[in-house]
Amino acid sequence: MTTLINPAPSPHVLRPVPATALSLAGYGWTIGTPAGIERDKIDFYGREVRVTHPAEFRSNDDTCLNLVSFTKRALEVRWMEYHSKHTQTFIPLDGRPFYMVLGKPTQRRPDGSFDPSQSPVPDLNDVTAFHFDGSAGIVMQVGTWHEVPFPIDGDTHFVCVCTNETNSNLEQQGPDGEARGGDLEKVRIAKRFGQNFVICP
């Protein structure tokens, strides 16, 4: 008698695209080369010092600064999360390149409102792997689904702008392995989709 074994589902493959202002539209903003609104009335040094607003940064009085260190790991997306109260920001140090997997907001909208008629998980049609060359970081819109950065050239340190509430929420992993709280929704991809996502450069 032959026993049939259901094969494991094939992973969902993501081909990286270059991270540019255009390709990140709907997900967030690059932060690197000066762009955006210039504060030209700050004029103590003439054109030797320029101040610009490269993104629509949002947060509250709970904002904090983390230094997050990533070692090189398999290019497999096992988790995705979003934040409700701030535009989380990752800025690489030492100019090292990385991949970032993002999904456009679903239930949590960029203005912070909540739309229960939308999907509680990322929309596969909008999940994209972005290649950052190390010259810029990212400011994500509120509600943007993301996996934490994948370093390309070994250990990479990032400045991460987030909230203390997010840090606390991440420390409260539930029995299902997921985590949620006032400024976090973190889901296990295999549990929600029956497969993981993989980045194939």
181 and 172 Cβ atoms separated by less than 8 Å: yes
User: Tokens 């955006």 correspond to what residue?
Assistant: 36
Amino acid 14: pLDDT: 97
pLDDT tens column, 34-63? 777 788 777 788 888 888 888 899 999 999
Question: pLDDT per residue over 60-100, tens digit each?
Answer: 999 999 999 999 999 999 999 999 999 999 999 999 999 99
Q: What percent of the chain has pLDDT over 70?
A: 96
> What token pair was written down for 55?
């993104």
Name 199's bridge partners. Answer: 14
Residue whose structure tokens are 């400024």: 183
Cα 130 to Cα 97: distance, rounded to the nearest angstrom: 11
Please give the model's pTM, rounded to 2 decimal places.
Answer: 0.91
Report which DSSP code applies to 48: G
Q: What angle do CA 152, 156, 158 make, to 5 degrees?
A: 120
State the Cα–Cα distance between residues 69 and 20, nearest whole angstrom: 24
Average pLDDT over the chain reads: 92
Query: In this structure, are residues 102 and 28 in contact, taking their beta carbons and an 8 Å threshold?
Result: yes
Tokens at 128, concatenated: 């994209």
**For the chain, which domains are there?**
12-199 (2.60.120.480)
